[in-house]
Amino acid sequence: MARPPVSTATGRPPAPLQTQTSGSLAQHVRLLTDAVNRKADITVQPTFAAVLLMAPSGGIWRVTVDDAGVISTELVPV
C-alpha cells in the first residue's frame, strides 16, 4: 500500500498549496515554483538497479530485486 510523501523535516505530509488571489504573475509563478521544488525535495528517493554489499569476510555481493519483489544475491568476482 502506498503512503503519502512525508517531509523529512517534520515527519508529516506537506501542507496543501495555498493560493493567493492578488499579486503579479511573477509572484504567482514564484510561489508555484517554490511549491513544486519543496514537493520534489520531499518525494524524490534515490533508486538503484542493484546494491553492492561487503560481507565481513571481504566478499562483495550484488543484491537485486525482481518485479515480484523477490530479492536475490550474487557473489561478485574480484
What residue ranges do the domains of the chain occupy?
Answer: 1-45, 46-78
0.75 exceeded by pTM: no
What per-residue confidence (pLDDT) applies to 69? 92
What grid cell was written down for 27? 509572484
Q: Under 8 Å CB-to-CB from 49, ≥6 apart: which residues?
A: 64
The pLDDT of residue 12 is 67
The pLDDT assigned to 23 comes to: 79
Q: What does the pLDDT profile of the chain (78 residues) look like in tens digits?
A: 445 555 555 666 666 666 667 778 888 888 888 877 777 666 566 778 899 999 999 999 999 999 999 999 999 998
